[in-house]
Amino acid sequence: MRFVAALLWLLFLGAGGAWAQEDKVKIAILMINADAGVFIALERGLFKEQGLAVEPIYFSSSGGPQMLALTNGDLDAGSGSVSPGIYNAVAGGVGLKVVATKSRVGPKGSGKFIVRSSLIESGKPFAIRDVKGKIIALNSAVGTSRMYLDGFLKRGGLSEADVTTRVMPFGDMANALANRLVDAAFMVQPFATQIEEQGIGVALIDLADVFLGHMTNNLFYADSFIRNRPRVAERFMTALLKGQRLFNDAVVRQKGSLDDIVDVVAKYLRVKDKKQLRAGLSLQDLAPNGEVNVKELSEDQEWYFQRGLIKGKVDVNKMVDLRFVQSAVNILGPYGR
């Protein structure tokens, strides 16, 4: 009996010994509502449950510096849209994989094209065609926002040649609209709701009307992370999906406290106006199962290629690695609507 007890104790120590010292994971985040799952996992101790010490590091986009950091070992995981920079990086031999979806275009306003209020005359409608000749703010000249702009303009019978684009971070767009430096902007949450609430701008169209379900923020793993620490990568994914599910419990199923979610996100985004943040979060759509739409990646690549935004096409099946998200879903069970 003592032998059995001793054996069980050794097994317990063996199972927990790897977590006696937390494994460090560095992840890039864009500090937007799509990062809510990461914030919740940090605040609720979900990463710590998995024996992880996670350090979020801010980047303004998914390309450029973030890609370099994923390549040279400064990051284990990254996040953002699968932009041309991602396709070009993979084609150029950068070691990374798309491993999960964090957020997508939801049905209720996760992204919007907004026109500044000062352009709208009382009693006179302002349509998409009226942005002809105007300056439109995008957060990237070559990313998914460029694709969204194309879809937006087509709804008004326009093309990119009919407008001027200006690139700036989402956080700078409110000031640019208010000071008439730009006429319209593509906005994600919480910025879109903040601008509308402040009366700075008015939504012309919801992104869901053009790109419903499109992946807006994905999770990337560096090849070195996958190769050298696959178990850590698996545990990270499990904790992240738990965080995204807690978000969905509150926002979609309304079985949790949305106010608690707002408090967590406000802490990390340093947002003081929780009323506006609450409105934006209620429109956010996170992916509780982290599923990746490979067909969409292929179609997006073709769009970028036709416009010369990527140098050459890659086999998208080779730029994704779904084993971690599949393992996490197996552990947690599938999350249904």
Would you give per-residue pLDDT tens digits along the chain (337 residues)? Answer: 444 434 443 443 344 445 568 999 999 998 888 999 999 999 999 999 999 999 999 987 777 788 889 888 899 999 988 988 889 888 888 888 999 999 999 887 778 999 999 998 777 889 999 999 999 999 888 888 899 999 999 999 999 999 999 999 888 999 999 999 999 999 987 788 889 989 999 999 999 999 999 999 999 999 999 999 999 999 999 999 999 999 999 998 989 899 999 999 999 988 888 888 888 888 889 999 999 999 999 999 999 999 999 988 999 998 999 999 999 999 999 998 6
Q: Are 177 and 201 in contact (CB under 8 A)?
A: yes
Residue 20 confidence (pLDDT): 61
Residue 312 confidence (pLDDT): 87
Q: What is the pTM of this model?
A: 0.82
Q: CA 98 to CA 304: how far, in whole Å? A: 18
Tell me the torsion sign for CA atoms 242, 244, 246, 252.
Answer: negative
Peptide linkage before 190 cis (omega within 30 of 0): yes
Q: How far apart are the first and last CA of the chain?
A: 48
Residue 15 confidence (pLDDT): 43
* Domains defined for the chain, CATH in brackets: 22-106+214-332 (3.40.190.10), 111-211 (3.40.190.10)
Q: CA 171 to CA 145: how far, in whole Å? A: 15
Q: CA 284 to CA 28: how far, in whole Å? A: 20
Residue type, 39: F
DSSP state letter for 3: H
